[in-house]
């Protein structure tokens, strides 16, 4: 019996697992396998976005995106404790330039923030192009996890599949936006060409927008929506006819504007201030006359696409800063015209054509005169378009008298303030000296071709003039000159997009 017991004990020792020689060292270094436990409750910040391009109610968009995010994290032990939602922001705008997204990024640094992770409702709605590669590392630097529904969990920077998928989502988001823009534009072009339909926006001066019967779209018609069409505003149309007649009689743009101001005729922004909140409404300008004379819609034919939104880099040297929208004239092949009349006429096609031929002849005559005199250059002004008059808040025009450059305000409007002199001027070198001195105190040094110690007399090609102003435009410089106190109010954009730095200088 004893022999059998010894044999059984030997067999047990042979089958017993040998002791791990690394166990004690692993315990010392903490290389122990984590035990499986229930997921702990994690606090999340929710981020979402909607824009006017989505054609969606912001409250509805916020609701479904937040619901998607909660359904995603709550089963895994997560809880949304703070919300960030941008309204009216295009997906092409980088995060740091969106108000709510920028606030979220700023909160990353705060030690008192209540959340440790960020969750979104839909990845393609929040990131565009390469934006994810610019925001994810910033969150990882502050130990904040980024949860994306398309990934099924938190983004893992070392997972090549996650990196590839998020890059793909950014490309899909960009492609989706471009496809939507192309489809909408093609549809609007077809409506203008075949129906002469008014595609929205401000009505040209001389017209008003009225209801034109049930909407052609059955669903919109069932909802009671009306088709909007252009109708003549007789009082303003009379002024439009006068403008065309005066131009054909030989008057120039500024002469026509002066005559309308002398007769106290309200300008377009004064007649319809609700359509022109960005205008002052204090008189006719030559540019207003030019825009009326060059608008073919007065001939009763619908014309669409003369101006187009163009996205240009905010800073060509910093692509991550994103793009900004500029309105520019579209190339001729992008402009469409209706085959049939779309609204009542104010002038005839023949009158409009005659005006355009006359304007073209004046332009060619001006070019030939310039070529004869050899005036291919003009003065460069470092602060052109950046100085405003404190009395009327208009931009001061640049000019040169003798060896000095000036900025002048000579208002032609009959409604100019009573305290405004006939002409207000300030020398450029004095303003530059004050501006550059203050910027140097901020640690900002502007390298320009000019010297602030002595006046300059320089002529450069027109294409080079932008180089003189660019350093100041990049700072978003604004200078307000008050001739009554000879004080300059100077401001630049600070590192935070929503604040500015101010200073005053005595000339």
Burial class from Cβ neighbours inside 10 Å (0-12, 13-18, 19+) for residue 2 reads exposed
Q: Rounded to the nearest 5°, which phi and psi values hold at 33?
A: -70, 130
**Bridge partner list, 309:** 327
Q: What is the mean pLDDT of residues 326-342?
A: 89
Give every CB contact of residue 334 below 8 A, 6+ residues apart in sequence: 305, 308
H-assigned helices in 253-348: 253-262, 268-271, 286-293
The region that residue 152 occupies, defined by phi over 0 for left and psi between -120 and 50 for alpha, beta otherwise, is left
Give the pairing type, strands 153-154 and 500-506. unpaired
- What does the CA dihedral 338, 343, 348, 349 come to, rounded to 10 degrees? -10
% residues pLDDT > 90 (the chain)? 34
CB 343 within 8 A of CB 206: no
Structure tokens at 488: 């300059």
| Chain CA centroid to CA 279, Å | 19
From the list 263, 252, 344, the residue with the least C-alpha distance to 298 is 344
| Three-state secondary-structure class, residue 412 | coil
Structure tokens at 315: 């800073």
Placement of tokens 């004690």 in the chain? 24
CA dist 503 and 215 (Å) reads 55
Residue 332 gets which letter from DSSP? G
Tens of pLDDT, residues 16-59: 656 777 777 777 777 665 444 444 568 999 999 998 655 678 88
Please report the sign of the dihedral spanned by the C-alpha atoms of residue 108, residue 112, residue 116, residue 120: negative
Tens of pLDDT, residues 415-454: 667 778 888 889 998 999 889 888 888 888 776 544 333 3
* 146 has pLDDT over 90: yes
pTM for the model: 0.65
CB 397 within 8 A of CB 484: no
CA dist 364 and 277 (Å) reads 36
Q: What is the mean pLDDT of residues 83-93?
A: 90
% residues pLDDT > 70 (the chain)? 84
Give the pairing type, strands 424-427 and 459-461. unpaired
**Bridge partner list, 83:** 46
Give the full edge-to-edge strand order of the sheet including 42-50.
78-87, 42-50, 117-120, 145-148, 153-154
Q: How confident is the model at residue 320 (pLDDT cuts 50, 70, 90)?
A: confident
Q: How confident is the model at residue 373 (pLDDT cuts 50, 70, 90)?
A: very low
Query: What is the rounded average pLDDT for all residues in the chain?
Result: 82
Lowest-pLDDT range of 71-75, 112-116, 313-317: 313-317
Buried b (16+ CB within 10 A) or exposed e, 28-41: eeeeeeeeeeeeee
């Amino acid at each position: 019996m004893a022999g059998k017991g010894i044999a059984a004990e030997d067999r047990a020792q042979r089958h017993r697992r040998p002791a791990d020689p690394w166990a004690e060292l692993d315990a010392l270094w903490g290389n122990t396998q984590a035990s499986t436990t229930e997921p702990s409750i994690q606090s999340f910040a929710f981020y979402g976005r909607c824009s006017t391009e989505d054609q969606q109610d912001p409250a509805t968009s916020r609701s479904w995106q937040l619901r998607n995010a909660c359904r995603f994290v709550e089963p895994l032990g997560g809880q949304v404790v703070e919300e960030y939602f941008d309204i009216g922001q295009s997906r092409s705008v980088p995060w740091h330039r969106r108000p709510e997204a920028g606030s979220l990024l700023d909160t990353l640094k705060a030690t008192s923030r209540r959340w440790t992770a960020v969750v979104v409702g839909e990845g393609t709605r929040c990131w565009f192009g390469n934006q994810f590669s610019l925001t994810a590392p910033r969150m990882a630097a502050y130990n904040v996890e980024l949860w994306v529904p398309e990934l099924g969990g938190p983004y893992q920077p070392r997972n090549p599949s996650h990196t590839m998928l998020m890059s793909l989502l950014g490309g899909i988001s960009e492609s989706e936006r471009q496809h939507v823009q192309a489809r909408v534009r093609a549809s609007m072009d077809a409506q203008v060409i075949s129906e002469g339909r008014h595609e929205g926006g401000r009505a040209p001066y001389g017209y008003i927008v009225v209801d034109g019967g049930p909407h052609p779209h059955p669903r919109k018609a069932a909802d009671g929506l009306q088709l909007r069409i252009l109708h003549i505003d007789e009082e303003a149309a009379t002024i439009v006819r006068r403008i065309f007649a005066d131009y054909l009689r030989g008057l120039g743009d500024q002469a026509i504007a002066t005559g309308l101001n002398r007769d106290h005729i309200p300008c377009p922004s004064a007649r319809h201030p609700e359509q022109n909140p960005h205008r002052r409404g204090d008189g006719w300008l030559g540019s207003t006359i030019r825009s009326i004379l060059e608008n073919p819609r007065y001939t009763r034919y619908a014309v669409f696409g003369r101006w187009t939104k163009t996205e240009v880099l905010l800073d060509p040297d910093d692509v991550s800063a994103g793009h900004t929208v500029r309105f520019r004239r579209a190339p001729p092949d992008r402009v469409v015209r209706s085959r049939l009349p779309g609204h009542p006429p104010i002038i005839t096609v023949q009158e409009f054509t005659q005006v355009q031929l006359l304007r073209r002849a004046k332009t060619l005559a001006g070019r030939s005169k310039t070529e004869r005199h050899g005036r291919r250059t003009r003065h460069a002004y470092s602060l052109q378009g950046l100085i405003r008059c404190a009395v009327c808040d208009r931009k001061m025009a640049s000019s040169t008298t003798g060896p000095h450059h000036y900025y002048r305000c000579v208002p032609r409007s009959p409604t100019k303030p009573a305290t405004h002199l006939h002409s207000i001027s300030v020398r450029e070198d004095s303003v530059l000296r004050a501006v550059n001195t203050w910027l140097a105190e901020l640690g900002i040094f502007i390298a320009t071709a000019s010297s602030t110690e002595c006046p300059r007399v320089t002529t450069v090609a027109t294409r080079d003039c932008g180089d003189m102003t660019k350093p100041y435009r990049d700072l978003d410089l604004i200078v307000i000159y008050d001739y009554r106190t000879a004080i300059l109010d100077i401001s630049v954009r600070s590192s935070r997009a929503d604040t500015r730095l101010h200073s005053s200088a005595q000339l």
